[in-house]
Structures are given as structure tokens and as C-alpha cells.
Amino acid sequence: MRIFVEPIGIVRGRMCPQVVDIDGDCAVGELIESLNFPAKLNVIAVTDGRRVASNEKLQDGATVKLVSLALGG
Amino acid sequence: MKGSTGHFLYVDLSDGLTNSFCPPIDYYSRFIGGSGFAARLFVERGNFEADPLDPEALLTFSLGPFAGLNLSGASRFSAAACSPLTGHWADSSCGGNFAPELKFAGFDGILVSGKAKKPSVLVISDHTAKIETYPELWGLGVEKATATLKQKFGKASKTLVIGPAGENLVKFACIMNDGHSAFGRTGLGAVMGSKGLKAIVVRAKDRNFLAEDPMACRKLVSELNSRIKESVTLSVMRENGTAANLEGGVHLGDVPIRNFTSNFWEEMAEALTGSTLSEKYLKRRANCDFCSVACKRIVEITQGPFAIPKGPGPEYETIVSFGSLIGSMDLAATCKAGRICNDLGMDTISSGATIAWALEAFENGDIGVKECDGIQLKWGDINTIIDHILPSIAYKKGNLGSLLSDGSVAAAKKIGPSSQDYNVQAKGLEAPMHDPRGGGHGLALTYAVSHRGACHVSSPMLFMEMGACYYPEVGFDYELDPLSSENKAESAVLAMALGALENSACLCQFADREISIPEWVALFNSVAGFNWDIHDMIKAGRRIFYLQRLMNHRYGLRAEDDKISSRLLTPAVDGAPAGIVIEFEKMRTKFYNLMDLNPETGIPSRKTLVDYNLEIEADIILKG
Ligand code: SF4
């Protein structure tokens, strides 16, 4: 399965947009965990302005946008 | 009392007199400094009946115990008074460089009363103060007035200055420190203007800071400074400013768009975010005294309609207030609008929010070209805002200037009930640039119960909901879902106590996220010798929260005033929070129960007041 990962905001400072190849089933939360962000960044996935639940299964060819909850401003 | 000087400066502008006094020593451990201390001093010396712009009104500047300590995030201080914007007790917090200098000059704060016969400047240096008449400064913008003062009193002197908006009593006028940092919220610049006080200048020779336990203090400060410097999130903020994650915020539905009518605008996200500001306009980073985070921006725009010379750049709140909130995604324009507000001396949040209200009022036909001096108001028309609306407000020019200069709540009251539906505020204070529907449901609660109104710095709730802090030592070890109302009342109980501590200790809410609860206690003990445990510290925070509620009760606020605008409780139509309901009443009822607040009066029971050693204060305030 091939997933397009697109970092947004401060997550972009930690990784470039990339394609991730995964064997078998994978949930959104597992994908994020495998990318090893510092816990403090509190990274979640969104799509079309909607938050994706961490147990949601990824589909082949999906684009996952990653956003950090970390800063107030 | 170490960490503090033990002296406040009292200034009576009517008589032209200044003297210093020593507040009772127990105030320091009971009310700490900053916001809490200012409140307690008002109970002792203020007049609840005085109009906020009356000479008798008391304006207080109050430092925390850590001002002057070489700790990142410790150089903030509070200004407090009855707010001309909201009509009740309020305070505002400012970073920059004034607080340490005032402490080094020998004072923990300044109380200003009366009205000067001629425009004046208060000049403070090593344990002394004098009032100098300075009519030629009156009418000058903040930038020019600050430069003039620096020329006269030396480059190293530190300044607090009001602009034309403060002089003209615009109800959301701010007070600027060295032209860059601001006491932005609640209109305290108008209080200063009503007193004929254009500026305060301070200069200290010695730079000594005395801690109770210097060894322990030095060790702790060095550990904390290294951690703050290496922090992942704060290094991001150093790199790209407080708007570093604006783009992320858009995808979460936290960033308000067109007066909070939308929660998602993808193209705007990248256009306004902090990294774009760095790439396009950043010249260098700047910091409050002693802070290694350096989240402040110095920008320059060399070309185009929004060209501005090198100088202070916008932070997150300003970018959103003059960006997505008014329907624009022009980053250069937000820089220019922020610069103009600074120079006129107006709060960027209330300015942007009041203008956003006017844009919607025009769209709805509640105001027309007559009220707008022949101008058509349009979403995104930042040129009109910069060229016409901002100066009109500051100088109260024309119909539009006089309509908007008292803030959006007063304007909506004049225009009529239908326009109040899209007033986005709590207790008369325009909401900051975090929408609780996406930023976190707990924010809706803390906006509502905060003594100053809709304010995101009255508590660290936003950070707690975003998972940026855990405080297991005080039972906060669960992960919160920003888009749910679950566990928010319980979290708000802790958040309001921590917020009161933060605003009274005058610690920066960005930098202090790296400080654990036991370290906060150790900091208070090693600097001020409070000899606290965690329980004592949290109790002090809650005591301050209760004191400020009592004061607002005296100003006429009741439980029914702990609410926020219906717009913020109406489910979002788009973006991450679309369709999700904030269970506001459920959260509020639970918060009231947990805090022992009476569901009608909004204040705690006598038993709680006794438990928190507030009987004397309650008697003065309530029986007054
Ligand atoms: S983090 Fe920014 S606002 Fe806070 S003290 Fe440091 S420079 Fe000032």
C-alpha cells in the first residue's frame, strides 16, 4: 500500500512530503507513530479540513496531511 | 521579602505628588504580584464607584517576583484597572523590557491616580520618581513619542507610551512598551490617557536581583533556561514566531475566518503562516528581556502598497485579526495594519474584531454608507481598513470612527439587537483569535468564566487541550480531545488556578510550558521564600481567581454573565469541528460545582472564602 504523507505547518519543519510504502493494513495512528515525531508535537492527521481518527484504516493511494496541535499563539 | 523590593510607587497626578509605600508583607505570598497583587491593592485603595475614565480611577502596574531574574519568560508584568471597554475589573499582561528595569529601580509596581493639568510623563530612576509636564509629546504617535523620550532620557531607558487612541479615550486603546510589546487588552491605554499621562520612563543604575536561596535559584534557573532553549516547540516559535503553527491551526478549525463564520480556508493557511512571514519579511528575531525564545519579529517590507520600514512585526493574534478574521490573506497588509495599530496605540485584537463586526453589519444591512461616511465596507478590503477605518477610530473621526471607538459591543448596542447576534465576545471583551469550536471546547468555558472576559491568556487551557502540557502532580494526566467537552470542566478548574498564578507571577505562557509544577513551587520558594508545597501554590492561584470574581460581583457581574456569544456555541459549518456541539451549559454547571460557585451570584460560599483566607477582602468588597 502506498500513502502520500503531506506535513502541514510546523510538522513541515520536521519532515518533507513523502511517499510511504506499507505492507498490509495500517491505521492512521500507526503511521504517525512510525514517523517518530517528538511526543510534544502531538501530531494528528487531517483530510479536507477534517480530523482523521487514529484508528481509521488507511486506503492505498490516500493522502494524509499531518498537523501538530502543539502551539497556541 | 526576597524577589521583590517591598516598595510600590504611588503617583497622584492631580497634586503632582509621588511617594512610595510598602504593602503589607502577607500580600506577597497571598497574591504574589502582577494580576493578583494589583487586585488586592485595588481592594485596599481603589474606588469601585469611580468611572474608569474618572481622575479618581486607579491604574496599577504590578511586577511579579521573578521580574529581573535572568529566566526566559520571566520579564512580563501586569497593568490593571476597571476597564473602560468592559466596565468591570480587568488586567492585561505585557512582555518586553520595562518590568526588570522597574524592579532594578526599586519598585514592585506603580499606582497612578488623579489627572495631570497638562500632558505629563512620569520619570522613575533609582528609588525616586518625578512628574514632568511634556505637552509637546501629546498628539504624537507611539513611535515618535518613544524616540523623543529615548533621546531625552537616554537610549537605555525603558518606556511605556500611549498613542493618539489613548489620548482620545478609545476604549480599546493599549499601552506600548518601547513601541513593540503591548498591554493590549481591555483599554488601559484610555485610562492612562484620561489621566493626561502620555508616558512612563524608567532607568536604573544597579541591576541586582536578590533571591531567598541564591544557590538553589541559580541552579534551577540554569536548568530551566537550557530546557527552554532546547525545547522542540519553542525552537519552532523562535524560528517562525507565534504564528509558526497558524497553518496547522487552520486545519484544526482553531483560526477564525470572516468574523467566526467559517473554520476552514485552505489557501489562507500557507499565505499567513509564520514560515511565510520568515521567508518574505523577517529581518531579525527579538525577545523580551532574558528570554532565549525570541518569538518576536522585526520585519521590513520594501515594496508595494504595504511597504513599511524595518521595525516590529506582527504576532499570531495580529496576523489573524487583520487577516482571515476580516477575510484577507494578505500577509504584508497584516504587518502594516499591526504597525499602524501600534503607532496609534490600539489593541490589534479588539481593533480587528470590531472592524470584522462592522464588515458583517454592512453585509447584513444593519449599517449602511451613511454610518460609514460614504464608504462601502467589504470583506477583505484591507486598504480601506488601513487608510480610513483605523485612523477614524483612533481620532474618533466621522460616523464610523465614533461608532467603532467604543468597541464592538457598544457599537452593536447602538445599532440594534440583530447586530448583537454576531458580536463575538465574553463580558464585553472581543474574543481573541482562537475559536473554541476548533481550538478546544474548554476554551469556551475559560473565556466565559475569566474575570476579564474572552481572553486566551487568562489560563493555559488552549495548551492543555492541545496536549502541550501534562501536570500529573496535580491530577492532570489525561489527554484531552479539543473537539469534545469531556473532562473540560475539571481541567478548567486547574487551568484557571494556573492562569491566575501565571498572570500574578508574570511568567510567559509560552516559555513556562517547559516548567513542571514542582519546579514552579521550587521557583517561588527559592526566589521569594514562600516555603510552599504544591497544594499551597494551587491554593494561591485559586485565591486570586476568587478575589477577582468578588470584585466583578461588586461591579455588578453575576453567574448569568459567565457566558460567551452564541456564535461560538453554534456548530461550525465547515472544517474539522463542523457540526460538533459544545456542551457549554454542562461544562459550566460542573465547573460551578467543582469551584463552589453560587449558580446565581457567581461567587463562592462563605466557607470557601474562609478556606481561602479571603474573609477580610470579601467583607470589604461585598459590604463596601
Ligand atoms: S516566549 Fe516570546 S513573548 Fe514569551 S517571554 Fe519569550 S520573547 Fe517574550
B581: domain CATH number is 1.10.599.10
Of B253, B463, B574, the CB nearest to A72: B463
What pLDDT sits at residue A73?
53
The CATH number of the domain holding residue B404 is: 1.10.569.10
Q: What is the CA radius of gyration of chain B?
A: 22
The verdict on B428 touching A (C-beta cutoff 8 Å) is no
More confident: B217 or A16: B217
B226 within some domain: no
B234 within some domain: no
Regarding whether B411 and B278 lie in a shared domain, the answer is yes
Nearest-neighbour CA in chain A from B303: distance (Å): 27
Angle, vertex CA B457, rays to CA B451 and CA B459, nearest 5: 70
Contact B80, B46 (CB under 8 A): no
Contact B624, B50 (CB under 8 A): no
Regarding whether B150 and B34 lie in a shared domain, the answer is yes
Regarding whether B153 and B41 lie in a shared domain, the answer is yes
B338 within some domain: yes
Regarding whether B414 and B444 lie in a shared domain, the answer is no
> Residues of B numbered 547-576 whose beta carbons fall under 8 angstroms of chain A's beta carbons: which are they?
574-576
> Residues of A numbered 15-44 whose beta carbons fall under 8 angstroms of chain B's beta carbons: which are they?
38, 40-42
Query: Which residue, judged by its Cα, is nearest atom 8 of ligand 1?
Result: B288
Regarding whether B440 and B382 lie in a shared domain, the answer is no
The CATH number of the domain holding residue B15 is: 3.60.9.10
Q: What are phi and psi for residue B125, nearest 5 degrees?
A: -145, 160
CA distances from B48 to B9, B57, B546 (A): 21, 9, 17
Domain count, chain B: 3
Centre of ligand 1 from the C-alpha of residue B511, in Å:
7
Chain A CB contacts of B251 under 8 Å are 8-9, 46, 49, 65, 67
Chain A CB contacts of B275 under 8 Å are 12-13
Beta-carbon neighbour count of residue B45 at 10 Å?
15
Regarding whether B446 and B589 lie in a shared domain, the answer is yes
pLDDT along chain B (624 residues), means of 10: 94 97 98 98 97 98 98 98 98 98 98 98 97 97 98 97 98 98 98 98 94 97 96 90 92 95 94 96 98 97 98 98 98 98 98 98 97 97 98 98 98 96 97 96 98 95 87 86 94 97 97 94 98 98 98 98 97 94 98 98 98 98 85
Q: Which pTM does this prediction carry? A: 0.96
The verdict on B247 touching A (C-beta cutoff 8 Å) is yes
Report which of B232, B218, B214, B216 is spatially closest to residue B514, judged by C-alpha positions: B232
Of A40, A50, A73, the CB nearest to B245: A73
What pLDDT sits at residue B435?
97
Rounded to two decimals, the ipTM of the complex is 0.81
Centre of ligand 1 from the C-alpha of residue B228, in Å:
11
Supply the range of the domain harboring residue B383: 241-423
Regarding whether B410 and B550 lie in a shared domain, the answer is no
Domain boundary residue, one of B375, B393, B423: B423
- Single-letter amino acid, residue B349: I
Regarding whether B317 and B189 lie in a shared domain, the answer is no
What pLDDT sits at residue B624?
65
Domain ranges for chain A: 2-68
What pLDDT sits at residue B469?
82
Q: Which CATH topology does A2-68 take?
A: Ubiquitin-like (UB roll) (3.10.20)
Total beta-carbon pairs less than 8 A apart between chain A and chain B: 102
Question: For residue B184, what are the contacts with CB-CB under 8 A and spacing of at least 6?
Answer: B92, B94, B174, B317, B347, B348, B349
